[in-house]
Structure formats: structure tokens, C-alpha cells
């Protein structure tokens, strides 16, 4: 791709980039078709758009023959990946950094500069290796030494990945906080906290009969978890779809009311705190004008606290104002119900003696937001990826949680309907997991009081802005060098 971009003009490179981007997103994100054909079309369009911009800009700087061309190309590629992950629709799937979720070196780098720094290192290693190969085709004089110098960064990155190997929750000594599998009948050690993560494999909740069947599975798994004596039980995102408190007050439909009443009674009398996903509506609002994708904390016979999802998924949880598309709005509402409203911000739950955060679904895609929770003992990500019917998609989503663990230095637990239900150590290593699409409960013990502030949380969150700023400066320098060389070619001298 880099050789193509340097050989052909930006316009042709843009067309090639669009083709490659469309193909990459179509292959890697083919599971989107399970949601709606329009979703995969939109992903393909995003891939085509961002790849075309990236390759056109890379073509321009490489063809400028500037001393800044190589670093500029690396920063452009990294910035384009960040743009696709954070701007407008914010779609981080099929980006290079998350493909390195099983690399201890990449996760270690993320603890300093987040996924942005990992992306920059990945782009930089590829660009410098290309520059080395290009130098080998140049003049004989100094060919080997010039190629070696240019390849040094890329070789160093490759060696770091190989030498560091895969992350291990048992490596790193006391600096790594790692969940461990719980033993039934034996209480957790002093200073540890036991969490049961349920994976009921419900898959579909579209009517009261399916709501009831899902609840039966969740209650059965919760009862089984009692053998472990959990301090906290986690039910996945929208484990109970109908707004519990709203239906208890208004009772518009008897069959739905029966389900939510049973769920509420069970959760209130359960002997341990339960954090459960629920589609929340303000009980006093008869029209349900405002609804949230929420996590409810049941404890001591009542709802003690609630967190409302802040970062909603476009085109399924909300329709961007710039999109219009009334027909699409009607289709989504008919299939999934009313759109949700964003919550007010991050919140910590307290289930004594632990404090934890419960970000919902794709909120683990946003490093800055994830790091904005105020030093919890651990995270519990509530998600439901069953709609994709794809273990591959679940692995891609899991990669994001692993990076968030490394960035925050915190343990991340995941409770998912069909997977990935996983316990992640503070270095991003997977400490325990349930097989995808298999019903069960993952019960783990987590150490408390291990919250730290990582370099990423201190200053590394600005790595995305720094990448964009430095990239713009390098592009400007390339343009200046290009104008200077054109004046020399035209006049023979300055």
C-alpha cells in the first residue's frame, strides 16, 4: 500500500484506499449483517472513507520527497485510525491496535499512551520498514547502512512484540491485580471480593414470553452461584428489558407486569447485591419520553443506585440529529423500541466493601471515558452481543476491554449474554473466561484496594490530540519542502 501510494498520485491512491478499506471492513465486520444489511453497508462506507483519506494524504507526503515524509506518513495513518474510532459514528472495529490485544508489549505501551500510542507505533514500524526497503533500491553508496538505520524502529517494535510475548495475569508481581477462580464453599481470602458473572445465553427478548424465559435462566444461574457465596452478582446489559419501576407503577400490560414484578421481587430478596442491566424509564413519566440503557444496583432489598449509559450506539440506541432518515427511525423503533437518552456521566457503585464501575456495552470502546471513572476497585462491563451471533465479534469487543484494563491499571470483569464473559487482569491478560455461547456462571475473587493511576490516566489521554497535532505539523513541513523543491526545479536556484 505504501509503495502504491508513493508511486501514484493522491487521487488514484484515494480510490485504491477506498477499495481496500471497503474490503477490510466487509470481511472483518461481516457480523454486522446479522443486525441489518444497512449496518454492514455503513461500515463499508466508513472504511472506504477513512482509508481513502489516509492513503491520499500518505501519497501526498511520500511524493513530496521531504525529509519529514516518513514520520508524516506514520502520523497520518495513526490519525486516520483515531478518526474512524472517535469521530461521528465512532467505529473502532478493524483497527490495527486492537489486533494486538494479545501482545504484552502493546498492552504495556497502552498503559502509557493508550490505543493512540499503540496505533502510532504500529504505523511507524510499518512505514520505517518500507523506508528501509526503498533505500535498498537506491544508490549503492551507503545502501546497507541507510536501510539499517531506517529499519531500526520497525525492527525494535517487532522484537518487542516477540520478546514480550503474550500477557500473563501471573507475571508482573504485586503490581498486577489479577482475578482468580473462586472455590465453592470456601470464602474469599481477606481483602478479596467475590463476583459472579452470569452468561445465560438468552439471545432474544422481544415479547413477554421471551422476557419470562430469560428471567428464569438468570434466576437459575443466580441460585447456582449461591454455592460460592458471592459478594456481588452481575446480570448482562438489558437482562431485564422492560423498565422495572415504570411497569410496577403503571401496569399497562399484565404479562409484562408479571415478569418485571417477579424480577423485582427476586432481586430484592436475593441475599447478595446484584447489578443488572435494565431499560430504565422514569416511573413518574407516563409517556416514557425519556428512557435510558441502565445498570441497577439491587442491595438490601431495594434499588440502591443506578447508572445510565452515556455513550450511546448510533442508529440503534439513538439516531444522530444530522442523519434525518425518518423511515430508518420508524424501523428501529418498531424493532427495538424507543431511542434511549444519554446519562449524565460516570458513576461508581458501592457494594461494601467494594466500589466498582459498570460501563455498558460499547462504552469500553472509549479510553478517555473509561478512565474518567474515579479509581474503582474494578470494572464490571455489562454487555449483550448476542445479536451478532459471532464469536469473532465477541473477541473483537473483548480486545477493547483488555486495552481499557491496561490503560487504567484496573481489573475489568465482563458479564455478557452469550460472551465474552471474562475476568481481565490489570495488565490486560485474560485471567478466566467462559466459552462463548455456553450457559454458565464465571465466579472470581478480586483483590480490593489495588486502584492505581497509570501514566495514561495522568498524561497519556492526550496522546490522541498529540498525534493529530504532530501529524498536522509534519504535513505542513512536507508541503513547505515540496514548495521549496518546486521553486528550485523552476528557477534552477533559490
Q: Provide the mean pLDDT of the chain.
A: 91
d(CA 280, CA 292): 5
| pLDDT tens-digit series, residues 335-390 | 666 788 999 999 999 999 999 999 999 999 999 999 999 899 999 999 999 999 99
Residues 6+ apart with CB under 8 A from 14: 52, 53, 55, 56, 59
Which domains are seen in the chain, by residue range? Answer: 2-170+462-491 (no CATH), 173-456 (3.60.110.10)
| pLDDT tens-digit series, residues 297-313 | 999 999 999 999 999 88
Instruction: For residue 375, count other CB atoms closer than 10 A to its CB.
Output: 15
* pLDDT at residue 398 tops 50: yes
Instruction: For residue 281, count other CB atoms closer than 10 A to its CB.
Output: 25
* pLDDT at residue 228 tops 80: yes
199 three-state secondary structure: strand
Bigger pLDDT: 142 or 333?
333
* pLDDT at residue 255 tops 70: yes
Task: Look at residue 494 in the predicted model and tell me its pLDDT.
Answer: 44
Minimum mean pLDDT range among 52-66, 171-185, 367-381 = 171-185
Length in residues, the chain: 494
Q: What is the share, in percent, of the chain residues with pLDDT greater than 70?
A: 92
Bigger pLDDT: 154 or 300?
300
Residue 3 · residue 55 · CB < 8 Å: no
Task: Look at residue 174 in the predicted model and tell me its pLDDT.
Answer: 62
Q: Residue 317: phi, psi to the nearest 5?
A: -100, -25
Residue 111's pLDDT band, with cuts at 50, 70 and 90, is very high
Task: Look at residue 151 in the predicted model and tell me its pLDDT.
Answer: 81
- Give the CA distances from residue 29 to residues 5, 397, 416, in Å, rounded to whole numbers and listed in that order: 25, 11, 19
Which cell numbers in the block locate residue 164? 514480550
Residue 108's pLDDT band, with cuts at 50, 70 and 90, is very high
The predicted model gives 201-227 an average pLDDT of 96
The predicted model gives 418-425 an average pLDDT of 96
d(CA 74, CA 130): 11
d(CA 191, CA 349): 18
Amino acid at each position: 500500500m505504501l509503495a502504491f501510494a508513493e508511486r501514484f498520485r493522491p487521487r488514484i491512491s484515494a480510490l485504491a484506499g477506498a477499495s481496500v478499506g471497503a474490503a477490510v471492513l466487509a470481511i472483518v465486520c461481516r457480523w454486522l449483517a446479522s443486525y441489518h444489511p444497512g449496518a454492514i453497508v455503513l461500515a463499508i462506507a466508513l472504511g472506504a472513507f477513512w482509508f481513502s483519506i489516509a492513503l491520499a494524504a500518505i501519497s501526498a507526503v511520500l511524493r513530496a520527497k521531504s525529509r519529514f515524509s516518513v514520520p508524516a506518513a506514520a502520523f497520518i495513518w495513526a490519525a486516520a485510525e483515531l478518526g474512524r474510532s472517535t469521530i461521528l459514528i465512532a467505529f473502532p472495529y478493524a483497527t490495527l491496535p486492537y489486533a494486538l490485544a494479545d501482545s504484552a508489549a502493546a498492552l504495556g505501551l497502552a498503559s502509557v499512551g493508550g490505543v493512540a500510542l499503540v496505533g502510532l507505533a504500529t504505523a511507524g514500524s510499518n512505514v520505517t520498514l518500507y523506508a528501509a526497503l526503498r533505500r535498498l533500491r537506491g544508490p549503492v553508496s551507503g545502501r546497507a547502512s541507510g536501510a539499517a538505520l531506517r529499519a531500526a524502529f520497525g525492527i525494535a517494535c517487532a522484537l518487542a512484540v516477540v520478546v514480550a510475548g503474550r500477557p500473563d495475569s501471573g507475571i508482573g508481581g504485586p503490581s498486577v491485580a489479577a482475578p482468580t477462580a473462586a472455590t465453592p464453599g470456601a470464602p474469599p481470602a481477606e481483602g478479596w471480593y467475590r463476583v459472579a458473572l452470569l452468561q445465560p445465553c438468552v439471545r432474544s427478548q422481544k415479547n413477554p414470553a421471551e422476557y419470562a424465559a430469560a428471567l428464569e435462566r438468570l434466576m437459575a444461574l443466580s441460585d447456582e452461584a449461591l454455592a460460592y457465596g458471592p459478594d456481588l452478582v452481575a446480570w448482562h446489559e438489558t437482562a431485564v428489558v422492560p423498565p422495572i419501576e415504570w411497569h410496577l407503577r403503571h401496569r399497562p400490560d399484565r404479562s409484562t407486569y408479571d415478569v418485571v414484578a417477579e424480577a423485582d421481587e427476586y432481586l430484592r430478596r436475593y441475599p447478595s447485591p446484584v447489578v443488572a442491566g435494565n431499560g430504565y424509564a422514569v416511573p413518574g413519566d407516563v409517556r416514557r419520553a425519556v428512557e435510558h440503557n441502565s445498570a441497577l444496583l439491587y442491595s438490601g432489598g431495594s434499588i440502591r443506585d443506578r447508572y445510565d449509559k452515556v455513550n450511546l450506539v448510533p442508529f440503534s440506541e439513538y439516531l444522530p440529529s444530522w442523519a434525518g432518515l425518518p423511515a430508518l427511525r420508524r424501523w428501529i423503533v418498531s424493532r427495538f423500541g424507543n431511542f434511549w437518552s444519554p446519562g449524565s456521566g460516570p458513576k461508581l457503585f458501592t457494594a461494601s466493601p467494594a466500589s466498582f464501575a459498570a460501563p455498558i456495552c460499547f462504552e469500553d470502546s472509549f479510553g478517555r471515558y473509561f478512565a474518567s471513572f474515579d479509581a474503582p476497585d474494578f470494572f464490571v462491563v455489562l454487555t449483550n452481543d448476542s445479536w451478532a451471533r459471532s464469536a469473532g465479534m465477541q473477541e473483537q469487543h473483548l480486545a477493547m476491554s483488555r486495552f481499557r484494563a491496561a490503560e487504567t491499571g484496573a481489573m475489568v470483569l465482563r458479564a455478557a449474554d452469550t460472551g465474552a464473559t471474562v475476568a481481565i487482569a490489570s495488565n490486560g491478560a485474560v485471567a478466566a473466561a467462559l466459552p462463548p455461547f455456553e450457559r454458565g456462571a464465571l465466579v472470581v475473587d478480586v483483590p480490593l484496594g489495588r486502584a492505581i493511576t497509570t501514566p495514561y490516566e495522568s498524561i497519556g489521554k492526550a496522546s490522541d490530540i498529540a498525534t493529530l497535532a504532530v501529524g498536522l505539523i509534519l504535513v505542513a513541513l512536507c508541503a513547505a519542502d515540496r514548495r521549496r523543491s518546486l521553486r528550485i526545479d523552476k528557477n534552477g536556484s533559490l
